[in-house]
Amino acid sequence: MNEENIIYVITIWALPVLLAITLHEAAHGWVAKYLGDHTARLQGRLSLNPLRHVDLVGTVILPIVLLVIGGFMFGWAKPVPVDPRNFRKPREHMAIVALAGPMSNFIMAVCWMGLMALAKQGLANTWIGYPLSLMAQAGVTINLILMVLNLLPLPPLDGGRIMVGMLKPALALKYARIEPYGFWILLALIFTGVLGRVMWPVMSFLESLLRSLFGV
């Protein structure tokens, strides 16, 4: 990929990626605050300012490298601090906080699909229609990736925390012990292609569903 194409791809993807990761993390903090934990608020992590959530490697360097080489889109932000001891029902409420991130990505995917419909229909013959449709497609893609990926029942992903909240205490404790190895398990799933085979059918179904709803 030449330099002009790299700049073009980054221009299209930068805003969707930043919004997807920033709002995902902020959603955790907002729901935690609602349920009684103000840790994220006290540390200034309820902000929509991407700089509050950006991780240099996970949010900037890795996504750019993967976009350039055409690999599996993957990244992360600084985790929002949550203290379950402040919840009335720690395990259950922690699961709800975990679910907030992926659900925020689904809402954003719906919004980006609505923008795509506008770009391809109402703005089809304007100068902004085509680039806006590409950005909207990027927004749909990155948000569906983050939603489906984070719902995998693997600690420390959100799905793993949801699973811990749903299991009986004794079993949940054993399940949570996977967390120190979760990142390495995830990398193994990515590089062996297993993760893609699991995620893409789900993502394709969800995108097809959204396209049919918006008539795109």
Instruction: Write out the catalytic residue numbers.
Output: 25
Neighbours of 11 (CB within 10 A): 12
| Nearby residues of 184 by Cβ (< 8 Å), 6 or more positions away | none
Measure the CA–CA gap between 114 and 107, rounded to whole angstroms.
11
151 neighbors 102 (Cβ within 8 angstroms): yes
Q: Burial level of 22, CB count in 10 A (0-12/13-18/19+)? A: buried
Helix, coil or strand: residue 39:
helix
- List the Cα angle 134/61/69 in 5-degree steps: 60
Amino acid, single-letter form, for residue 172: A
Largest CA distance in the chain: 60
Using the structure block, give the residue that is written with the tokens 């990398």. 187
> DSSP labels for 24-71?
HHHHHHHHHHHTT--HHHHTTTT---GGGT--IIIIIIHHHHHHHHT-
